[in-house]
Every structure is written in structure tokens, then in C-alpha cells.
Structure 1
């Protein structure tokens, strides 16, 4: 079976800002490219963090309120800056949680969930930025047509991988939900089939109505 990787799904030519970029430069980059966050890179294009709209808003919220009391001296922050004289490196969330192009959708999803982020910069073997993958990119695997899922399960999984006869099981797919019916030699094969089906990109759930050659009926569902 062919699984889509992060390299297949990621956006290439990713928008990025240098660690020395100013707040104004970051805001312009976000607005001009209609994105909500960008990786921050060093001189070698290694991602060192991510700066988002939220980071910029948090900085703006620290400024004196024009409708509030008059402040005669601009406060100096812990980073030694006043006003908006601050760089991407000071604003960013760091370190950058990164992915590799060869990662599976599951690996990327787990990394996002673990780090609590919506996107991952993607780096090559040298740690250089080559793309970015978002939650929306990962969900694209669920846009696969039911016919493509049925063909992959019937041909690649059941026949080529497991060596089952084409007539042994019928495969029905509706909105990514797979139903398998038929006969197998052993009931112990059923959970193997289910797990392999769930590993097919775009499958939402798997229902089985399978009878073993010994006559035992196995009715499981996963998803």
C-alpha cells in the first residue's frame, strides 16, 4: 500500500521570516500571504521557532492604552526594548517543533497533538526548512473517494498483501466507512485485516461481518 507522507501533503516554498525581522515586517508578511503564522529561521534556514498572529497581539496588548492614564515614560521590557522595536526571535514560540518529509500522517498528527500546535515546519536531513504541514493538510487524506479506498483495500491489501482470493471477501465503502463480508480460513485473521484497513489513508472506520471456514462468525467493528 502507498501511504501519503508529510512530503506529499506539505506546502513547499513556505513563507518564513528571519530571526531579525521586526514586528512590522512580520505583520506585513502574515497579511500579504494570508497566513496566521510563519517559521522563524536563522542564517542557515534552520527553523528556530514559530511566530503567529497571537504572538503579535500579545505584544500589542502590552502597549499603553491610549484611552487610559497618560504614561510619561515608555516601559522597558525584559528583552530591553520599548514600543515595537522587537524582533521575531523575541516574539516567537521556541523551539520549533519540526517534522520530516518521510513522516506518515499519523506521526505528524501525534507530534502536533503532543506539542499542542496547528502546524509543523518540515526540515531536511540538514535541518533546513523545506516546507510546512498544517492540520488541514493532514485531513486531506479523508477527501479520497470511496471508490479509490475500495480498490486499494480489495486489490492491494486483501489480494496482494494477505494473499486472499478476490472472491473471499466483499468490500463496501460509504463516506470512508468500510464494511467487509465473506469468509476467511481463521478467525484470528480478522483483527489483522481490520488493522490493515484502518491503516489505509482516508478510512474512517471498519465493520466486519466475516465467517471463518470453521463456521465461527466474527462481527467486529473498529473506528
Structure 2
């Protein structure tokens, strides 16, 4: 079973900012390149932070509402400093949370979830910027063709990994939903097959209509 890597999904043409990039230039970079965030890199092209639309919007949110309809939000000291910033290094979110190109989709998604970020700069062994991967990039695995998913399950997983006869277990895939049918040797093998199928890139759900020849979940008989 082969998980798609960050390198396969990331964008390589990355718009960059420098720590001293002015606020208005940051807004212009986002607008002209139709992106929602840019990594901020040092002189060695190593990410030191990320500037997103949310970071820049703090400046607008901190301004007085002339109509008095909404109150000025109460900001922490660090939030106030970012709202008053005029350069990338003053408004960026830091440190940059980065990924490696060899990571799987699962590893990248878990890091995004843990740090509550929408994108990850991708760096090499020297921490130099190689690309950027977003939530949308990771979601592209669900655009895999049903036939490609079925072939991976029946070939790589069922036959090569588990050693099952393709005549015993079949897999139907429709819109990423997998239905398994057939018979396996033991009852304990049923959840194993289900779990492995769920780990295939592009699988949305798994329904296992599997029977078994031997019930190996019962307690072994004790001697007299």
C-alpha cells in the first residue's frame, strides 16, 4: 500500500515574502497571486513564519468603527503588536510549522490538525523552502478514480499484503465507497481487512460483507 507523499501533492512555485516586506506589499502579494498566505523566509530561504489573510486582517479589526456598530475587540498584548505591525516579521505567525517532502498525506494532515493551520511550508534537510502544501492539496487524494482505488485494494492489499485469493474476496468501489464481499480464513482477519482498506488513499468509507471459515475469537477450551 502506497500513501501519496507531500512531494507529490505540494505546490512548487511558492510566492515568498521577506521579514522586512512592508504590509501593503504583503496584501499585494496575496491579491496578485490569488493565494491566502505566503511563507516568510530568511536570507537562506528558510521559512521563519507565515503571513495569512487572518494575520493581515487584524489591522482592520483593530480600527475604530466610525458607525459604532461593533465594539473594538479586546486583544492580548501579542495580538495588539501584530495589529500595529507594518512589516512581515511583525505580523506573521511564527515559528513556521513545516513538513518534509517524504511525509505521507496522513502525517501532513495530522500536523495541520494539531497546530490548527491550513497550510505547511515544505522544507529540505537544510530547512530550505521547497514548496507548500495546503488542505486543498491533501484533499486531492479523494479525486482518485474508483478503478485505481479498486486495483490498489485487490492487487497490492488483498493479494500481495494479505495473501488472499482474489476469487475469495472482491472489492467494489463507487465514489470512493468500498464494498468488500467474500470469505476469509478467520474471523479475526475481517477487521484487519477493513482497517487496511480504510488506509488506502481516496477511500471514503468501507463496508465489509465478509464471512469467515473459522471463528478464532472464541476462548480456547481449557484442559480437564
Report TM bin, short chain. 0.7 to 0.9
TM-score w.r.t. structure 2 length?
Answer: 0.84
Aligned residue number for residue 142 of structure 2:
142
Q: Measure the CA separation in 2 of the matches of 1:101 and 1:215.
A: 43
Counterpart Cα distance in 1 of 2:85 and 2:57: 15
- The structural deviation recorded for 1:171 is 0.8
Displacement of 1:2: 2.1
Distance in 2 separating the partners of 1:204 and 1:42? 40
1:152-183 Cα distance to aligned partner (Å, 9 max, x none): 11111111111111101111111111111111
Supply the RMSD in Å over aligned alpha carbons: 2.4
Give the structure 1 partner of residue 162 of structure 2: 162
Question: 1:124 matched to which residue of 2?
Answer: 124
Instruction: Give 5+ residue unaligned stretches, structure 1.
Output: 69-76, 217-223
Task: Confirm whether residue 17 of structure 1 aligns to residue 17 of structure 2.
Answer: yes
CA contact (8 A) 1:11 1:133 kept: yes
Gaps of 5+ in 2: 69-76, 217-224
Say if 1:23 and 1:84, in contact at 8 Å, map to a contact too. no
Runs of 4+ more than 3 Å apart: 60-68
| Structure 1 residues 214 and 94: CA distance shift in structure 2, 3 A | same
Aligned to 1:213: 213
**Given that residues 85 and 91 in structure 2 are in contact (C-alpha distance below 8 angstroms), is that contact kept between their aligned partners in structure 1?**
no
Tell me, yes or no, if the aligned pair for 2:186 and 2:215 is still in contact at 8 Å: no
Q: Residues 55 and 164 from structure 1, CA distance in 2 versus in 1: closer, same or farther, beyond 3 angstroms? A: same
TM-score, structure 1 normalization = 0.85
1: distance between equivalents of 2:85 and 2:147? 56
Structure 1 residues 1-59: Cα deviation after superposition (integer angstroms, max 9, x where no partner): 22201111000021110111001211111111011110111111111111112222212
- Give the total of aligned pairs: 206
Question: Could you tell me whether the CA contact under 8 Å between 1:147 and 1:173 is conserved in 2?
Answer: yes
- Rounded to whole Å, the distance in 2 between the matches of 1:126 and 1:57 is 32
- Aligned positions of 1:98-109 closer than 5 A: 98-109=98-109
Q: Is the 8 A contact 1:22 1:85 kept in 2?
A: no
CA distance in 2, matches of 1:117, 1:215: 46
**Does residue 202 of structure 1 match 2:202?**
yes
Paired residues of 2:187 and 2:215 also in contact (CA < 8 A): no
